[in-house]
Amino acid sequence: MSEPLLLPLTHAFSNTHFTTPHHLLKTTSARSAARFHHRHKQVPLPLSPGSDYTLSFSLGSPPSPTISLYLDTGSDAVWLPCSPFECILCESKAPPLSPPLNLSSSATAVPCKSSACSAAHSSLPSSDLCAMSRCPLDHIETSDCDSFPCPPFYYAYGDGSLIARLYKDSLTLPNSLSVQNFTFGCAHTTLAEPVGVAGFGFGLLSLPAQLSSVSPQLGNRFSYCLVSHSFDSDKVRRPSPLILGRYEEKEKQFGDEIVEFVYTDMLYNPKHPYFYSVGLEGISVGKRNIPAPENLKKVDRRGSGGMVVDSGTTFTMLPASLYDSVVREFDHRVGRFYERASAVEETTGLGPCYYYDKVARVPVVSFHFVGNGSSVVLPRRNYFYEFKDAGDGRRVGCLMLMNGGDEEELRGGPGGTLGNYQQQGMEVVYDLEKRKVGFARRKCSSLWDSLNN
């Protein structure tokens, strides 16, 4: 069956940093072999918890050691560190999750004349790319450059960058799910990027899109349910379920848990088509509804606006005007009862923060997405982080929403981002056919157990 060769190699808003986007490019198809043994049922896979969530798999034949990459719905390609590997300015970064990949004998370089190569190089014509690869002119004119690999490509992030080459090899996920001729970027040098990324965005060479070439049901609808964040690497927690080919259900009983999804439509972004953008009408703090600015409700033709649902960004980023209004209302309700923890705010960068004795009383925070009944009540721990002050041992709680900048700074990109910290304890489903995103409160560890019984 055919495998779409379309690779807008972007990595936007992943791991809390912004990417300079590439263009989305339509390309031709190539015949590829694939095998899939779970064609008619949903496939649960484990995501490892932490301050980010990671997906593990192997590449090649025989299979490589397990590779762990960040799950990122804000980008649309898969890339990973390859041996020999150098990460510049990575001293302050978390250590790599897995050793750099040694390419297997079954890996093949993507040729310079391929559409994937052109897409990776921001739409350069294949003739130029093959000339860069030193394919002779007469071969270029006769499209006979199969033996000349795609040149290395560069792309940058707000706080990092990398150089990589494109390869194809077999991909094997847990549960024996296997895809032949899987396309990925192989990076030998990065700047401040020690860990690779499994892009789950809208691009046709994202991981779901490549699975769709094997089984449309599998890639067209997926979900994840994120267990609580663990900033302590020594804490062992159950995995978060990633469900490929998620069955559609509006309400279902799971033991004593009634699960009801609320949906909001995806918004098309012409400049950043790989984003899962949705419209945000407002945010409630207690009983007060704070309307969102117009740029969060829709996406204009220049690609500005909307809110990106992004598993690869840790914290939710709001435009300054909305952020300030939410903080003022939260402080109005909480600051009357608790002492402001200004010293904690200065040392952590969080805020507002408060000291409290036993249990802090905080207002409920809800996100109101565009659409009738598309409101999501956040679990308390998703917006109020409680810990002990390292200095004096007092209990502290901080609001965990972030200022994403003013509207001028956000022009040409998303108006806001819904990060994974605010998605804890919820199943988030992405329906790519119906172009909608759904949310439901869940006991994610129980969901993992039920899927594996």
- Provide the annotated active-site residues: 72, 310
Cα distance between residue 183 and residue 180, in whole Å: 9
Residue 167 near residue 186, CB atoms below 8 Å: yes
| E strand residue ranges, 89-152 | 108-109
CA distance 37 to 49: 27
- First vs last C-alpha separation in the chain: 33
Q: Name the 3-class secondary structure at 80.
A: strand
Q: Residue 51's closest CA among 289, 311, 357, 252? A: 311
Side-chain half-sphere exposure of 36, counting CA atoms within 13 A: 23
Pairing between β-strand 401-403 and β-strand 316-318 as defined by DSSP bridges: parallel
User: Buried b / exposed e across 108-120, counting CB within 10 Å, b at 16+?
Assistant: ebbbbbbbbbbbb
Counting DSSP H helices and E strands in the chain, the numbers are: 10, 31
Question: How many CB atoms lie under 10 A from the CB of residue 359?
Answer: 9
